[in-house]
Structure 1
Amino acid sequence: MSAGRLLSVLLLLQSRGRMSARGIAEELGVSVRTAYRDLARLQDAGVPVYAEPGRGGGYQLLDGYRTRLTGMSEGEARALLFAWLPGPAADLGLAPEVTAARLKLLAALPTGLREEAMRTAAVFHLDAPGWYREPEQAPYLPLFVDAVLTQRAVDVRYRRWRAPQEVDRRLRPYGLVLKSGVWYLVAAVKDRIATYRVSQVLDAVLSDERFDRPADFDLGAYWTSYLDDFLARRYTGTATIRLSPRGRRRLPDNVPPELVRAVDSTATAVGDDGWIAAVIPTESTAHACGELLRLGVDVEVVAPAELRQAMADTVGVLARAYGSARAVQTTGSPTGEIE
């Protein structure tokens, strides 16, 4: 039996008022039987908890009773920033601390402010990952949290996009960034600062080396600069395209926001049918071809010639493939199955 959990039950009743044993169990992640046992132990300890029977009943504290045991542990203080962000907190391994810190924070507030805070929390929910993909698994994320806070170096094996793909590095973590549901580690490696996708870490071990994080390092400023540099390195060319009205509406769901902004800023009408011409940045011929094909017949590449040809070649391959399939289905077996 955890004394910390008993305190959590007490603070939960203090901040929420009447609650059922099932509600307490769900909030604290324990069984209903454990919740009943904890309530009984609070009563045995002299805490004025009483049960209200019947429909809509539950457990509550005697009116006017309040505990002053609201001091936070170090872990709970760390978790306070994430008190209403359960998803990222769970990723960081701080879910239990977040629950305890939130209860203590609410219990410490005057009744009016506590009710307002609970109303606000009830109407906002953060779902960080983007559409059309599963959240990335980052099993070493809690280890990096520890390394950042204790300023300890980490030995990692990392999978990167260029050869050699798997490399060993000793990193001195400066901070963690969550972008579109993906966690990134900002760390010093040798004489430079680099960014690592946490899900691509294959192995990680805390070392005995301690380091001092530069006092003038600003994580937010670094990340903004990193993004600007990333986009400058990513887009090295341009293309002129034509878009139908439907293609322009579909654009935000199919291409990065940089391309949408480029279309908005360069769009010009090219006829009375609503089609527009625009200039967009491109990463490479193959990458641009893959992105623009998502728009199907609602886009046409005007220039450069190599991208236009790549689009035509890809469409030709698809046409031949689907033409062959249609022919087999027409002349093949009675079931219409492709053999």
Structure 2
Amino acid sequence: MSKMRRLIDIWLYINRVKRFTAQEIGVKFNISLRTVQRDLLELTEMGVPFYSEVGRNGGYVMLNNEVLPPISFTEEETASIILTYESLKQYQDIPYKIEIDSVIRKLLGQVSEPLQKKLLSLKDYVLMKIPNRKEENPFLREIFQAAIIKQQILFSYDSLREQKDKTAVPLGIYSENGYWYFPAYDLLYERISLFRVDRVKSIKGGESIDINLPTIVEWMNLKKQNVDENTCTLVLQISRRATRDFSNSFFDFSKITWNENGTGILLQEISENEFQYIASLIATFGSEAKILAPQKLKDILILKLKKTISLY
């Protein structure tokens, strides 16, 4: 094994175990204590963050801010990382905005000047369009980190009608239509509720608790499977033009059965609790869509349109 390969293997090992002794490293990698001391000194000079503990049971302890060993990327791999990060930067707030800028600088700093220019030009040819929202999300990172360690958070939440104090454990964060959301287990009501991150006005971290909660992906899958008591089937006649121009992800256009005349029928299960919201969405289609059922949703849409017409 080459010396560099051994140093990287030791680096990965101490990153994983956190606490270690020179004797332990010597046995693990079949090297002498003198070689261990030289290797640890070189790792220190490379910036690996650990310190020695004195005393009878002394050894070494890794600091929390782990630094990974050097990794080589191909041009295509570097381009994919930069494009992914640049697309995330289109959000006003993301959990690791400062770190993303740092990663891109480090990647570009390792390549030649011609390749730097080529990689920097990539963002001029790819664009992921995300709705531009003015609402700020100052607590996005805290909520994300609390989800990872199952930490309860105490936060003040603006529910539009009133501001409420909540204590909950976040499951994670997700973005939809330019907004950030987080489902969280409400400790008072013992249920999972959905919150919008920009409506959190203050936050305070609590203790991590041992509780069996689904991941955000599991929660979303369960949400799709659960059938609401007030669920009914939406039957919507819609044109191809409407599906092309519509940016909201609420309707599942993959379920449309298309006719030869360019119109199709969408059958989708919807909740009566969302009728007002759904009617507002369908109103944006104008003459490109028509509700065939349920009648109650038709009536709500008609009333909305009448109120709009009365303004003129």
Alignment partner of 1:170 is 2:167? yes
Note the 1:46-195 alignment, pairs <5 A: 84-85=85-86, 87=89, 91-92=93-94, 94-105=96-107, 107=109, 111=111, 119-120=118-119, 122-124=121-123, 130-131=130-131, 133-145=132-144, 147-148=146-147, 152-160=151-159, 165-190=162-187, 191-195=190-194
Match of 1:236 in 2: 231
Counterparts of 1:205-220 in structure 2 under 5 Å? Answer: 205-207=204-206, 209-211=207-209, 219=215
User: Could you give the per-residue CA deviations for residues 241-268 of structure 1, whole angstroms, max 9, x where no partner exists?
Assistant: 444xxx431234347445352662x334
**With structure 2 as the length reference, what TM-score do the two structures score?**
0.54
2:254 paired with 1:259:
no
Give the TM-score of the pair, scaled to structure 1. Answer: 0.50
Write the distance in 2 (CA, Å) between the matches of 1:182 and 1:105.
29
State the Cα distance separating 1:182 from its structure 2 match: 2.5
1:198 aligns with 2:235: no
Count the aligned residue pairs.
Answer: 237
Contact 2:180 2:198 in 1 (8 A): yes
In structure 2, distance between residues paired with 1:235 and 1:281: 10
Contact 2:133 2:178 in 1 (8 A): no
1:290 matched to which residue of 2? 280
2: CA distance, partners of 1:99 / 1:224: 31
Does residue 225 in structure 1 map to residue 221 in structure 2?
yes
Kindly provide the amino acid, as one letter, of the partner of residue 206 in structure 1.
G
Unaligned runs of 5+ in 2: 1-44, 50-62, 72-80
**Quick one: structure 1 residues 156 and 135, their matched pair in 2 at CA, closer, same or farther if it must change by over 3 Å?**
same
What SS does the aligned partner of 1:84 have?
A: helix
What one-letter code is carried by the residue in structure 2 that aligns with 1:211?
I
Match of 1:250 in 2: 242
> Would the aligned equivalents of 2:230 and 2:271 in 1 still touch at CA under 8 Å?
yes
- The answer on whether the counterparts of 1:70 and 1:104 sit within 8 Å (CA) in structure 2 is no
Structure 2: how far apart are the matches of 1:255 and 1:95?
25
User: What is the distance in 1 between the residues matched to 2:303 and 2:151?
Assistant: 53
1:139 Cα offset (Å): 1.6
Deviation at 1:71, TM superposition (A): 5.6
Is the CA contact (8 Å cut-off) linking 1:71 and 1:104 kept in structure 2?
no
Task: Determine which structure has the larger helix proportion and give its number.
Answer: 1
Matched residue of 1:259: which SS? coil
C-alpha distance in 1 between matches for 2:247 and 2:102: 41
Say whether the 8 Å CA contact 1:157–1:202 is kept in structure 2: yes
Q: Secondary structure at the match of 2:173?
A: strand
Show CA shifts across 1:176-208 (max 9, x none). Answer: 33444332334444355544321121221223x
| Distance 1:75-1:137 versus aligned 2 partners, 3 A rule | farther
- Are 2:241 and 2:288, in contact at CA under 8 Å, matched by a contact in 1? no
Describe the SS at the equivalent of 1:170. strand
Contact preservation (8 Å) 2:157, 2:200: yes
Contact 1:156 1:170 in 2 (8 A): yes
**Who wins on radius of gyration, i.e. which is larger?**
1
1:75 to 1:101, Cα distance in 2 relative to 1, 3 A: farther
Of 284-293 and 69-78, deviating more is 69-78
In structure 1, list runs of 5 or more residues that go unmatched. Answer: 1-67, 323-339
Say if 1:309 and 1:177 are closer, same or farther in 2 by CA, change over 3 A: closer
In 2, the alpha carbon distance for the partners of 1:227 and 1:152 equals: 23
How far apart in 2 are the matches of 1:218 and 1:313? Answer: 40
Q: Return the letter of the residue paired with 1:267.
A: W
Counterpart secondary structure, 2:245: helix
Output the CA distance in 2 between the equivalents of 1:254 and 1:278. Answer: 14
Aligned to 1:300: 290
State the SS of the aligned residue for 2:172: strand
Deviations 1:59-86 (A, max 9, x none): xxxxxxxxx85668966869x9999346
The residue type paired with residue 209 of structure 2 is F
Aligned 8 A contact 1:89 1:98 in 2: no
What is the distance in 1 between the residues matched to 2:116 and 2:278? 47
Aligned to 1:143, the other structure's residue is in SS state helix
Q: How large is the RMSD of aligned CA atoms in angstroms?
A: 4.7
